[in-house]
């Protein structure tokens, strides 16, 4: 069954593997929800330290830059919640009890109504961090809701109402985002360190490449194949039984 437009949640938590993943997957939805009073928080699991084609780069500087880019992107989306970083090494994030515990604590503390993250079942996905973060979030949602997981955390259990998986293998939920396209694009362009490696900007002319990138992202928002009303929308796999 196809569903559309959740009731605007009070609190949403988006969890991404790298700085910029959340904006690619759910930027327009989060901008819309922020605009309607939702407290949007973001958790970035890795330090983004492999996000460059320049092998001579100072890793510490790249990590700092990417954090500040993420914070700027959150401002662009008018997110009023937390922007937090787990700091795992980019490309090396593994599913572990320790990370499950840290994510569980985050969910229990923030008490989001909706959680958004990577779809770990997306076929032919190369990047291990995207898969692993998706699985970890699922595991942490189970742990966060059940009191016998990590009782030493001394925080009340919390069960979110909805989980939305972005870049979904099977799309069954759409958020109409008319009017929030530019917020998404501007938030993406906050990730200046990623222009070349992720967005293809800078090889020829910055202006022409930026225009091409925007056009491409806008075309991805066109989900009218699912119905005319979704001509500007982000698509998800929705899981409501949490
Ligand atoms: Zn990523």
b vs e for 51-76, b when ≥16 Cβ sit within 10 Å of the residue's Cβ?
A: bbeeeeeeeeebbebbbebbbbbbeb
* CA 32 to ligand 1 center in whole angstroms: 22
pLDDT above 90 (res 198): no
Task: Tell me how many domains the chain contains.
Answer: 1
pLDDT above 90 (res 202): no
Tens digits of residue pLDDT in 6-53: 999 999 999 999 999 999 999 999 999 999 999 999 999 999 999 888
What is the mean predicted confidence (pLDDT) over 213-237? Answer: 96
* CA 151 to ligand 1 center in whole angstroms: 32
* CA 27 to ligand 1 center in whole angstroms: 14
User: Which residues is 39 bridged to in the sheet?
Assistant: 11
What is the mean predicted confidence (pLDDT) over 90-109? Answer: 98
User: What CATH number has the domain bearing residue 120?
Assistant: 3.40.50.10320
* CA 19 to ligand 1 center in whole angstroms: 7
Tens digits of residue pLDDT in 113-161: 999 999 999 999 999 999 999 999 999 999 999 999 999 999 999 999 9
Cα torsion for 93, 95, 97, 99, to the nearest 10°? 40
CB neighbours of residue 15 within 10 Å: 26
pLDDT above 80 (res 204): no
* CA 36 to ligand 1 center in whole angstroms: 27
Largest CA-CA distance found in the chain, in angstroms, rounded: 56
Structure tokens at 89: 């090494």
Distance of CA 78 to the CA centre of its chain: 15
b vs e for 109-138, b when ≥16 Cβ sit within 10 Å of the residue's Cβ?
A: ebbbbbbbbbbbebeeeeeebbbbbbebbb
> Which residues form the domain of 200?
3-239
């Amino acid at each position: 069954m196809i569903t559309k437009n959740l009731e605007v949640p009070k609190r949403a938590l988006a969890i991404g593997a790298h700085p910029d993943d959340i904006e690619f997957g759910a930027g327009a939805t989060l901008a819309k929800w922020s605009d309607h009073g939702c407290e949007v928080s973001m958790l970035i699991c890795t330090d983004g330290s492999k996000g460059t084609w320049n092998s001579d780069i100072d890793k510490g500087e790249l990590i700092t830059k990417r954090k500040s880019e993420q914070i700027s992107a959150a401002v662009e989306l008018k997110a009023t919640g937390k922007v937090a970083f787990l700091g795992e090494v980019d490309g090396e994030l593994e599913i572990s009890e320790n990370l499950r515990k840290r994510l569980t604590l985050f969910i229990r503390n923030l008490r989001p109504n909706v959680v958004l993250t990577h779809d770990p079942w997306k076929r032919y996905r190369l990047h291990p961090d995207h898969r692993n973060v998706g699985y970890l979030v699922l595991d942490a949602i189970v742990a966060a809701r059940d009191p016998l997981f990590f009782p030493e955390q001394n925080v009340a259990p919390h069960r979110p109402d909805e989980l939305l998986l972005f870049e979904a293998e099977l799309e069954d939920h759409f958020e109409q985002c008319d009017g929030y396209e530019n917020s998404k694009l501007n938030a993406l362009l906050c990730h200046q360190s990623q222009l070349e490696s992720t967005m293809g900007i800078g090889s020829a002319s910055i202006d022409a490449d930026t225009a091409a990138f925007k056009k491409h992202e806008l075309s991805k928002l066109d989900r009218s194949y699912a119905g005319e009303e979704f001509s500007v929308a982000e698509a998800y796999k929705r899981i409501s039984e949490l």
